[in-house]
Chains A and B, each alone.
Chain A
């Protein structure tokens, strides 16, 4: 009888499972037609092209507006959505960075944490345990450096430097700009931070393998990929969250423990039970996945939903790929028993992710009214994330965040509603949501033009692009961006950088934006070279007023800047001004500039792992600076344009 039931039920279950899965697996294609209603909002083709470029690229390069108009706005956008334009020259530059393609396991092996290095060195008897932090520090440090060299180990800062550099180079040079913008957007949405020590080294792979490839696909895939990534598992502590699985309790050790506990007085038993329960569960990820990644803080969940969701996600952890890292002991157990055998008991190994059923709370849970029956294993976590990804609150929350990024700090409700509907209808298809947004008149409304304040990163990238700069040392830009108030990848909280002009514009940072403009325009950022004359086909403007007009047009196309620039003209047209400036320049104490020059070279040496080489670059760029730097008037005009309030907006 039993066998018979099984005979009938198995195919049924398979069919049901297939139907259920297919609704997730076969995604409706986002084949919405693109038709931009900008004319109805009173925009010209060129103005509309500028709006498009200001929203979906890191800023237009000279001539971009013309190119987009010629190609057709819709066609350009479609091309960006497909994100498959060749990027040969970028890839050529990136090929100099060997660390950015490493797997997590390779990173862990090649760029171990300082503490792991020390442990290894002590273990191998290379460093005496008692000499740590004692005696001659220099000698000790040298010993450690020598040990690392011998072992082929590299300092982590080298990994991060390459990682920061690639971000800047991609933003500056990629032809698939929308993909880079979306990668930036989703990284910030699913923020992880280098300030959290145990997740830091997995962040390069996180951006590369988890965020970028999913940045224009379906939201649920992106969510699941982040949930299973080592960076996120460490960052929000889920790797350590454990529950009790009653199916795994019949081991000898458990039996002994039970026996001991059974003999405790009832009061102590109660306490112990409470303690055991509290000890294993970590709600950090479960809370943030609802509050920040999906539903939003007002998305309609309770503290109980958080706790229950945390129980669902117990046992979601990292596959022990790092022989010195946490969980290394686990690897031995896995190898001894064998993954095939473990899989029979619900164990899942997927890349760097592992589901450890013995650490999974196998009881029944209820989240947002949905019942997760006992013994749901790995799949119930997937089901939970799917439920969250498709929740109406999520559709609204994500739509609002996208509209905030691409339209204005306070996007119109009508637009959010349209995008939310598409999100729900199209199974969280990110492309479809973007298409709905650009097909909406709200996107082209005059209220939306230039309504966003550039983040320091966006400011630096848009300036570099507008001036056709050549970047030899991207890290110099990283430090400037930091100085302007955005230490990329170091934002500590899971919220990510706030996407609000108010956050970026504070008194200290604003001056640094102006200084950045002046420094960039006068070729005083080492390792970033611009040729202002070439931007205007080597036609020298006749006066500073003419320079202002000409270069403002090149750098900020499709803006009516006449009014705002008018007040500058008398200032710039002071006939004695040139002389004054030149005089001041030649009078400037060479001592001071020499000193500051040296300071820069030192900074450079610090910033680079190869001090000799970069000092060489430093002195070279010094010569260049003299030849370019002397043209102070043009440099100053362009610097003022880059630092102007209009250029802070997009």
Chain B
């Protein structure tokens, strides 16, 4: 494999100086960097959240008039009728109801900024988590051998060289499959950890940093040398941001959860103008085979965490909202019928959420038939009526201005469904 394409091709490196401390401020130096395209210029950012484990789309956004669903889910079906329970579904359009624990989403849906695509999924009918996640993240549902992830290819198609190590950042401990590939991408679990630390002895830490920088600069291994350079540049850039004392704007309240913390840090990066264009986070616990609950329970907790985190992020962004589109995804949906243990098993289609000012929101896009047995895939699952690549490609097209579908999603030829504005 060839070495990764380095960032800072335009010589932006010099901007930060070599030593620690006395690093010039961005603004002062940015003026000198007219030739370096895009350094700290505000750009669009796409934020993707992968819901690992397969979210039950039929419980998140329920076709509540569907008599078949009522029968298939005797204890899991939820109603939108007022008074049917303490927390009925939030009626979105007379047909679909949003889970009450996602009430945070209601306002942005009504405002037309949040779109939902229902019946979304992969054309490959694998019901295996790892296959389906792999296919979704590589963007090639019938080819396991694809080395790169779709978001890495997206970065390559942005049309300008990365001016910053923060162009593509995943708030996870290792690089997700979506980010594999030739373009540099960072995996950082916690911005606060992204520094060399000698506890209680910052002077020693600085010394160590300097020593490491010298050593990595002269190693004969290109991989270590390049990655070392990326790391040191990134830490120096982060030093300019007061990572520890970040205060979300507009009284945004992030849940103290892994996805909440990830989104908080993404907001921080976006607002610090470090050149972030593609961000990635994960949310877990969606594999609800057992007692998934209705208005309370595992599922309710998960969707609450997810929607509260996303809305805190959105509030926190403030004036940056115009630059940001956020999209969720999950590898597949779950069975229409509930199983014997109060849960649902692996199915096919699910739904996803897209939030942004360039989104054609306030609508449940896609196609969901009546859930009669003959309309189900293999007699059990919600049919996939929208290929996930159609939605991903449309978002990349409209938000990031990426048009080369033949590279972004090789072997896909389909149409957009019009869930973005324009």
Look across to chain A and name the residue whose beta carbon is closest to the beta carbon of B202: A584
- The answer to whether A500 touches B1 (Cβ under 8 A) is yes
User: Does B231 interact with chain A (Cβ within 8 Å)?
Assistant: yes
Residues in A whose Cβ lies below 8 Å from that of B130: 492-494
Q: Count contacts on B: residues with CB < 8 A to the other chain.
A: 62
Q: How far is the CA of A278 from the CA of B379 in the complex (A)?
A: 12
Picked from B200, B208, B293, the residue with its CB within 8 Å of the CB of A636 is B208
- The answer to whether B212 touches A585 (Cβ under 8 A) is no
- The answer to whether A581 touches B204 (Cβ under 8 A) is yes
Q: How far is the CA of A588 from the CA of B198 in the complex (A)?
A: 11
Nearest CB on B from A78, distance (A) = 32
Residues in A whose Cβ lies below 8 Å from that of B293: 133
Q: Which residues 196-214 in A have Cβ within 8 Å of B in the complex?
A: 196-197
Using known A-B contacts A237-B128, A593-B199, determine if residue A482 contacts B208 with beta carbons closer than 8 Å. Answer: no
User: Does B251 interact with chain A (Cβ within 8 Å)?
Assistant: no
- The answer to whether A508 touches B187 (Cβ under 8 A) is yes
Nearest CB on B from A316, distance (A) = 18
Look across to chain A and name the residue whose beta carbon is closest to the beta carbon of B172: A508
Look across to chain B and name the residue whose beta carbon is closest to the beta carbon of A135: B296
User: Does A284 interact with chain B (Cβ within 8 Å)?
Assistant: yes
User: Does B225 interact with chain A (Cβ within 8 Å)?
Assistant: yes
- The answer to whether A645 touches B215 (Cβ under 8 A) is yes
Q: Which residues 630-650 in A have Cβ within 8 Å of B in the complex?
A: 632, 636, 639-640, 643-646, 648-649
**Number of A-B pairs, beta carbon distance below 8 Å:** 171
Look across to chain A and name the residue whose beta carbon is closest to the beta carbon of B2: A502
Q: How far is the CA of A409 from the CA of B221 in the complex (A)?
A: 13
Q: How far is the CA of A596 from the CA of B184 in the complex (A)?
A: 33
Residues in B whose Cβ lies below 8 Å from that of A502: 1, 4, 223
Using known A-B contacts A284-B128, A492-B129, A581-B207, determine if residue A644 contacts B212 with beta carbons closer than 8 Å. Answer: yes
Residues in A whose Cβ lies below 8 Å from that of B1: 500, 502
User: Does A132 interact with chain B (Cβ within 8 Å)?
Assistant: yes
User: Does A571 interact with chain B (Cβ within 8 Å)?
Assistant: yes
Nearest CB on B from A64, distance (A) = 24
User: Does A568 interact with chain B (Cβ within 8 Å)?
Assistant: yes
Centre residue among A237, A644, A645 by max chain B CB count within 10 A: A645
User: Does A26 interact with chain B (Cβ within 8 Å)?
Assistant: no
- The answer to whether B224 touches A505 (Cβ under 8 A) is yes
Residues in B whose Cβ lies below 8 Å from that of A646: 215, 219
Q: How far is the CA of A47 from the CA of B404 in the complex (A)?
A: 52
Residues in B whose Cβ lies below 8 Å from that of A297: 145
- The answer to whether A512 touches B198 (Cβ under 8 A) is no
Centre residue among B134, B215, B296 by max chain A CB count within 10 A: B215
Using known A-B contacts A133-B293, A502-B223, A649-B221, determine if residue A571 contacts B198 with beta carbons closer than 8 Å. Answer: no
Using known A-B contacts A284-B128, A508-B187, A640-B212, determine if residue A567 contacts B218 with beta carbons closer than 8 Å. Answer: yes
Residues in B whose Cβ lies below 8 Å from that of A284: 128
- The answer to whether B201 touches A585 (Cβ under 8 A) is yes
Pull 11 A–B residue pairs with CB atoms less than 8 Å apart, ordered by A: A505-B224, A507-B184, A518-B198, A564-B219, A571-B214, A584-B202, A584-B204, A593-B199, A636-B207, A639-B198, A639-B208
Interface residues of A (CB under 8 A from B): 115, 118-119, 132-134, 195-197, 237, 275, 278, 284, 297, 453, 482-483, 485-487, 492-494, 500-502, 505-512, 514-515, 518, 522, 524, 563-564, 567-568, 571-572, 577, 580-581, 583-585, 588-590, 592-593, 596, 632, 636, 639-640, 643-646, 648-649
